[in-house]
C-alpha cells in the first residue's frame, strides 16, 4: 500500500496545480503573483477615475448594462458555476427509487399480484482522485470564465472610449474641412477676380484652385461616411438601433503621468486574459490527472432496500422489508488503448495550454510597450505639429496677401501649396491627439483596467 501511495503521488494525482516556474518568464510571473497589488497603479484604477467625461461615462455605463457580448460572458460564468456545483455534488451518494408491480395467472388460477418498492443507494469512494480532479478542474473553469468576463468588460469599456474619441476627432475634422472649404471657395472667387482684372492670374490658376476646392468637398463626404460608421459602432456597443451620438464640445483625455521605461510583471499578472490563460493551463493539468487516475481501480458501494411481497419463489401478503449491501472494485486491465490515448492527448493539450500561457504573457508585455511608446511619441509629435500649424497659418496669410496686393512677388501655386500644407497639418494634429487618447485607452486595457 505504501508503494502504491508513493507511485500515485509521483504521478501528481492528488497534487494541486501550482504556477509553473520552469522558465524565466513563468518564474517571474509566479513571483509577481505573490507581490501585493498596488491599487494606485494605472491599470488598477476604476474606469470612472480614468474616463471622467460625463457623456462618455454614461455611454460606458449603458454598454456595461446592455452589451450582448458581456451578457454572454456573464452567462458563461453562470454555466461554469453550475458545472462546479455538479462536480461538488458528485461526492454525495446517488439515490434512486424504482417501484414496480406485476400480475400473473396460470391455468385459469387467480391472478397473483406482486409488487416491490425498492430504493437504491450508490456511492463512489474517491480513493484515486477521479472526483477530486474533476472538482478542481471545474473550479479552474469557473475562474477562467470569470477572468474572461472581466476581459470582455475591459474590452467593452475601451471600445466605447475609443469610439467616443474617434467620433469627436472625425467631427473636428469635419468642422475644419467645412470651414476650410469655405475659405478655398473664396480663393477660387479671388483668383477669378484677379484674372478678370488682369493681375497676372491665368485661367490655369483658377481651375487649379477650383480643383482644390472640389477635392476638399470629396474628402468631406468620406469623413461623413466614417462618422456614420462610428455612430453605428457605438450603437452596437450599447446594444441599440443605429443613431447619431453626441460628444462633448471639447474632448480631451487627461490622465495621470504614466510614462516609464517598463512595466513590472506584477501589473501584467493583473490582466484578465493572462489569468484566464493560466486557468486554462490549470484545467489542462487536472484533465491530465484525471487521465492518469483512469488507470487505477474504482470502488463503489451500493445498498438496496425496500418493501416487497415477492420473497424468493414465494408471494407473501402482506409483504415485508428487505435490504442488500454490496461493494465492487473495478480495475481497468485492457480498454483497447483508450486510457493510454486519453493520457497522451491530455499531456499534449497541457503542453499547448502552457505554450499559450507563455505567449499571452509575452503578448501582454508587447501591448503595454506599444501603448507606452505611442503615448510618449504622440505627445512629442503634438508639440511639433502645433508649431507647424502656427507657421503655416502665417504662411497662408502672407502668400494670400502678397497675391492680392503685390505684383510679381508670388504666384497662385504658393498660395495653394500653403493652403494644402495647413490643412494637412491641422488634420495631422487632430489625428495625433486621437492617437494619444487611444494610446491611453489601450494602455489602460493592456494593464487589465476596467474594474
Query: Considering the domain boundaries, does residue 71 fall inside one?
Result: no
Query: Considering the domain boundaries, does residue 255 fall inside one?
Result: yes
Query: Considering the domain boundaries, does residue 95 fall inside one?
Result: no
The crossing angle, in degrees rounded to 10, of helices 68-89 and 54-66 is: 40
8 Å CB contact between 240 and 424 = no
Report pLDDT for 60: 92
Report pLDDT for 400: 74
Query: Considering the domain boundaries, does residue 337 fall inside one?
Result: yes
User: Count of CB atoms within 10 A of residue 326's CB?
Assistant: 10
Average pLDDT across the chain, whole number: 81
Say how many domains are in the chain: 1
Query: Considering the domain boundaries, does residue 83 fall inside one?
Result: no
| pLDDT tens per residue, range 2-34 | 444 444 444 567 888 888 888 889 899 888 888
8 Å CB contact between 425 and 385 = yes
Is the pLDDT confidence value at 404 over 70? Answer: no
Share of the chain above pLDDT 70, in %: 82
227: confidence class by pLDDT, cuts 50, 70, 90:
very high
Query: Considering the domain boundaries, does residue 31 fall inside one?
Result: yes
- State the CATH number of the domain containing residue 146: 1.20.1600.10
8 Å CB contact between 154 and 450 = yes
Query: Considering the domain boundaries, does residue 112 fall inside one?
Result: no
DSSP string of 117-142? EEEEEEEEE-SSSHHHHHHHHHHHHH
Report pLDDT for 451: 77
The whole-model pTM stands at 0.79
| pLDDT tens per residue, range 295-348 | 877 777 777 776 676 666 666 677 677 666 666 656 665 665 788 888 889 899
The x, y and z cell numbers of residue 268, run together, are 501584467
Mean pLDDT, range 177-199, rounded to an integer: 82
Round to whole Å and give the CA distance between 159 and 154.
9
Query: Considering the domain boundaries, does residue 285 fall inside one?
Result: yes
| pLDDT tens per residue, range 106-152 | 666 667 777 677 777 777 777 777 888 888 888 888 888 888 888 88
Q: Where are the alpha helices (H) located in 197-306, listed in sequence order?
A: 203-237, 265-268, 272-293
The number of helix segments (H) and strand segments (E) in the chain equals 11, 5
What domain range includes position 138? Answer: 2-66+126-296+332-446
Amino acid at each position: 500500500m505504501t508503494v502504491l501511495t508513493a507511485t500515485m503521488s509521483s504521478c501528481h494525482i492528488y497534487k494541486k496545480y501550482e504556477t509553473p516556474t520552469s522558465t524565466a518568464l513563468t518564474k517571474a510571473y509566479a513571483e509577481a503573483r505573490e507581490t501585493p497589488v498596488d491599487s494606485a497603479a494605472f491599470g488598477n484604477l476604476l474606469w470612472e477615475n480614468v474616463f471622467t467625461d460625463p457623456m462618455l461615462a454614461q455611454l460606458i455605463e449603458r454598454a456595461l448594462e446592455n452589451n450582448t457580448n458581456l451578457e454572454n460572458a456573464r452567462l458563461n460564468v453562470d454555466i461554469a458555476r453550475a458545472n462546479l456545483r455538479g462536480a461538488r455534488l458528485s461526492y454525495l451518494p446517488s439515490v434512486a427509487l424504482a417501484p414496480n408491480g406485476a400480475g400473473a395467472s396460470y391455468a385459469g388460477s387467480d391472478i397473483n399480484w406482486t409488487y416491490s418498492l425498492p430504493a437504491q443507494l450508490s456511492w463512489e469512494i474517491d480513493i484515486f482522485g477521479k472526483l477530486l480532479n474533476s472538482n478542481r478542474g471545474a473550479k479552474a473553469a469557473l475562474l477562467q470564465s470569470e477572468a474572461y468576463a472581466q476581459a470582455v468588460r475591459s474590452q467593452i469599456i475601451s471600445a466605447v472610449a475609443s469610439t467616443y474619441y474617434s467620433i469627436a476627432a472625425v467631427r473636428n475634422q469635419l468642422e475644419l474641412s467645412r470651414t476650410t472649404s469655405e475659405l478655398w471657395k473664396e480663393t477660387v472667387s479671388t483668383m477669378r477676380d484677379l484674372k478678370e482684372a488682369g493681375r497676372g492670374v491665368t485661367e490655369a490658376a483658377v481651375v487649379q484652385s477650383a480643383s482644390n476646392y472640389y477635392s476638399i468637398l470629396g474628402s468631406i463626404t468620406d469623413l461623413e461616411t466614417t462618422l456614420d460608421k462610428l455612430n453605428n459602432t457605438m450603437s452596437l456597443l450599447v446594444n441599440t438601433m443605429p443613431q447619431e451620438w453626441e460628444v462633448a464640445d471639447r474632448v480631451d483625455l487627461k490622465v495621470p503621468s504614466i510614462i516609464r521605461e517598463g512595466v513590472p510583471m506584477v501589473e501584467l499578472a493583473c490582466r484578465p486574459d493572462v489569468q484566464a490563460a493560466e486557468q486554462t493551463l490549470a484545467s489542462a493539468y487536472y484533465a491530465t490527472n484525471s487521465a492518469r487516475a483512469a488507470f487505477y481501480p474504482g470502488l463503489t458501494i451500493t445498498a438496496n432496500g425496500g418493501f416487497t411481497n415477492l420473497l424468493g419463489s414465494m408471494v407473501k401478503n402482506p409483504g415485508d422489508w428487505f435490504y442488500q449491501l454490496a461493494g465492487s472494485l473495478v480495475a481497468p486491465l485492457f480498454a483497447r488503448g483508450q486510457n493510454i490515448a486519453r493520457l497522451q492527448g491530455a499531456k499534449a493539450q497541457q503542453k499547448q495550454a502552457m505554450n499559450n500561457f507563455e505567449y499571452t504573457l509575452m503578448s501582454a508585455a508587447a501591448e503595454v510597450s506599444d501603448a507606452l511608446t505611442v503615448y510618449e511619441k504622440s505627445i512629442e509629435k503634438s508639440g511639433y505639429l502645433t508649431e507647424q500649424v502656427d507657421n503655416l497659418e502665417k504662411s497662408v496669410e502672407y502668400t494670400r496677401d502678397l497675391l492680392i496686393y503685390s505684383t510679381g512677388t508670388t504666384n497662385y501655386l504658393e498660395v495653394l501649396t500653403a493652403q494644402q500644407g495647413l490643412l494637412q497639418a491641422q488634420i495631422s494634429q487632430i489625428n495625433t491627439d486621437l492617437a494619444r487618447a487611444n494610446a491611453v485607452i489601450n494602455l489602460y486595457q493592456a494593464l487589465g483596467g476596467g474594474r
